[in-house]
């Protein structure tokens, strides 16, 4: 028996499981439910008990684009899409309707989205068409874009992957204003793990988001829904965030370039800083040129990135290292799997062949790992404390919050990173860029967290981001660059890191590598 109460939450309805069972309306009624779909597309209430509240929204009818056009636009990048829209070869409605059709088709297998804006996206596309007719130049004209479910959107419940967040946002985040001002159309919100705390995208609330390269494995996290949607050709752009690897890790595991810009370089308004200043908003695309186009819109201080990546970078000195900051529970950080070591080695060879001076370097990191751990755990405690339904918080988040409350007394020590900054600067004296693997291993299988103790899940996560979280602590930007496939046909990647404010240099190097060894990783085989 189902009781539907609404309208609530800015146009969404609340479904209450009243008697311990839920009758699901037939597909002809076109309801979209907030609980996860299985890999086969079946709709199940397994795991939901009496009294749980689930969100759903009636799927407003939209005009389906011809299948041929939907597929033709699947791999068309953001820049090419915008150019064709500005030239009148495509309309914003066509590009958006095609993206909506791809989302609907992919959702049963990927589960990348928590909200799909069928009616509103088509209405927004008409507004873009009117602006173009009035003579506006829009760099992202008619480009469909997805938004990670941690970015405030007026009238929407931003859940961050948790049952515990039910309040409706009252205003748009500044990054949404920027992308819409540039002509992009928001088509939906993408899934995250609870409170964006893990490098996988699974939760009791949102189910399991899957990697389009291997549906039995995670796309990474916490921006896994965004990365999966872009990698699968569902949308050409998606927003994400990175507080410890959450852009660079899913980019690596999904075969995408992924830039974490300098923390503070992208506005977090109307909120304050994220995660004690370690986190920054950003996004995903399938090419360096489109990544540059997106960040030209997002960055507070313009760097003319799109123009820069069209030219050659300066010759730089690159330090090549397999060193990483690790904490005591994992004294060696676990092994680095051979395909990921090879990805960094191949990138070092390619950069050397392109004329750059590449030399091995040993890195010293001091207490970066424990300082990251303190700040991460305190941030988890803060996010949990801000939840409006504390009784609905998942077990892993509750565990991290308990650790964070104990760790808070060490926060002043953890916020002082000057000793570690001096060590890293000394290690990289004379070098412009550092090159390492992005990840130490392939993405773990879906469901690895199921039944695992929370401490085990935490230690596994720590190992997997051990090349990444150093740079959130220090505030240095990093770029994941795809490096081909491993023997199982899964993407691998390397990481380029530079000093604060050097996004331009990183993207120029990425563009040079992309041209020298074009990656066709955008076209997933599955």
Residue 28 among the catalytic residues: no
Q: Which long-range contacts (CB under 8 A, 24 or more apart) does 11-15 make?
A: 11/57, 11/155, 12/55, 12/56, 12/57, 12/157, 13/55, 13/56, 13/57, 13/58, 14/53, 14/54, 14/55, 15/53, 15/54, 15/55, 15/56
Which CA distances in Å does 207 have to 37, 148, 210, 356, 465?
Answer: 8, 16, 10, 45, 22
3-state secondary structure 423-482: HHHHHCCCCCEEEEECCCCCCCECCCCCCCCHHHHHHHHHHHCCCCHHHHHHCCCEEEEE
Q: 335-355 burial, b if ≥16 CB within 10 A, otherwise e? A: ebbebbbbbbbbbbebbeebe
CA 202 – CA 122 distance, rounded (Å): 30
Alpha carbon of residue 472 to chain centroid: 15
* Number of neighbouring beta carbons within 10 Å of residue 249: 35
Is residue 82 within 8 Å of 139, Cβ to Cβ?
Answer: yes
Residues 6 or more apart in contact with residue 355 via CB below 8 angstroms: 315
Residue 21 among the catalytic residues: no
Tell how strand 357-360 and strand 317-320 pair up: parallel
Of the candidates 116, 220, 221, the residue with the CA atom closest to the CA atom of residue 160: 221
Of the candidates 275, 329, 336, the residue with the CA atom closest to the CA atom of residue 456: 329
- Among residues 109, 148, 223, 466, the one annotated as catalytic is 148
Sign of the four-CA dihedral 520, 522, 523, 526: positive
* Number of neighbouring beta carbons within 10 Å of residue 427: 17
Is residue 189 within 8 Å of 114, Cβ to Cβ?
Answer: yes
Residue 246 among the catalytic residues: yes
CA 344 – CA 321 distance, rounded (Å): 9
- Among residues 109, 203, 223, 246, the one annotated as catalytic is 246
- Among residues 109, 162, 203, 222, the one annotated as catalytic is 222
**DSSP secondary-structure letter at 255?**
T
Residues 6 or more apart in contact with residue 185 via CB below 8 angstroms: 92, 95, 96, 121, 124, 125, 128, 142, 143, 144, 145
Of the candidates 261, 262, 267, 258, the residue with the CA atom closest to the CA atom of residue 228: 258
Active site residues: 148, 222, 246
């Amino acid at each position: 028996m189902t009781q539907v109460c609404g309208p609530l939450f800015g146009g969404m309805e609340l479904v209450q499981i009243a008697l311990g069972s839920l009758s699901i309306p037939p597909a002809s009624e076109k309801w979209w439910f907030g609980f996860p779909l299985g890999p086969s597309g079946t709709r199940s209430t397994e795991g939901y008990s009496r009294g749980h509240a689930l969100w759903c929204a009636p799927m407003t009818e939209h005009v389906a684009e011809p299948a041929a056009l939907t597929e033709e636009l699947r791999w068309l990048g953001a820049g090419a899409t915008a150019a064709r829209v500005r030239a009148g070869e495509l309309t914003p409605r066509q590009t958006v309707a095609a993206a909506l059709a791809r989302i609907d088709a992919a959702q049963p297998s990927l589960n990348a989205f928590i909200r799909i804006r069928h009616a509103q996206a088509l209405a927004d596309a008409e507004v873009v068409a009117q602006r173009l007719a009035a003579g506006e130049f829009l760099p992202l004209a008619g480009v469909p874009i997805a938004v990670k479910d941690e970015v405030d959107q007026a009238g929407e419940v931003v859940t961050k992957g948790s049952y515990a967040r039910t309040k409706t946002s009252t205003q748009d985040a500044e990054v949404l204003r920027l992308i819409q001002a540039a002509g992009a159309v928001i088509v939906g919100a993408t899934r995250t793990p609870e409170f964006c705390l893990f490098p996988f995208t699974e939760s009791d609330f949102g189910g399991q988001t899957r990697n389009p390269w291997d549906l039995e494995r995670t796309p990474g996290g916490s921006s896994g829904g965004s990365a999966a949607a872009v990698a699968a050709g569902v949308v050409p752009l998606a927003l994400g965030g990175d507080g410890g690897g959450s852009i660079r890790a899913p980019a690596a595991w999904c075969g995408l370039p992924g830039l974490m810009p300098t923390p503070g370089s992208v506005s977090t308004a109307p909120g304050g800083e994220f995660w004690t200043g370690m986190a920054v908003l950003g996004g995903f695309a399938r090419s360096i040129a489109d990544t540059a186009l997106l960040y030209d819109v997002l960055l507070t201080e313009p760097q003319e990135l799109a123009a820069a990546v069209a030219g050659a970078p300066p010759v730089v000195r690159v330090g090549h290292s397999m060193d990483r900051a690790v904490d005591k529970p994992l004294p060696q950080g676990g092994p680095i799997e051979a395909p990921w070591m090879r990805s960094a080695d191949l990138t070092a060879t390619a950069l050397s062949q392109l004329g750059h001076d590449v030399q091995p370097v040993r890195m010293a990191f001091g207490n970066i790992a424990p300082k990251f751990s303190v700040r991460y755990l305190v941030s988890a405690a803060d996010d949990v404390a801000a939840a409006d339904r504390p009784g609905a918080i998942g077990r892993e988040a509750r565990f991290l919050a308990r650790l964070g409350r104990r760790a808070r007394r060490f926060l002043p020590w953890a916020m002082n990173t000057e000793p570690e900054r001096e060590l890293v600067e000394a290690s990289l004296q004379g070098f412009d860029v550092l090159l390492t693997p992005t990840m130490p291993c392939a993405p773990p299988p879906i469901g690895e967290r199921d039944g695992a103790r929370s401490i085990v899940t935490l230690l596994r996560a720590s190992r997997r981001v051990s090349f990444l979280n150093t740079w959130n602590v220090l505030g240095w930007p990093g770029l994941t660059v795809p490096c081909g496939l491993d023997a199982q046909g899964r993407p691998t990647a390397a990481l380029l890191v530079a000093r604060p404010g050097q996004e331009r240099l990183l993207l120029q190097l990425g563009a040079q590598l992309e041209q020298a060894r074009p990656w066709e990783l955008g076209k997933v085989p599955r």
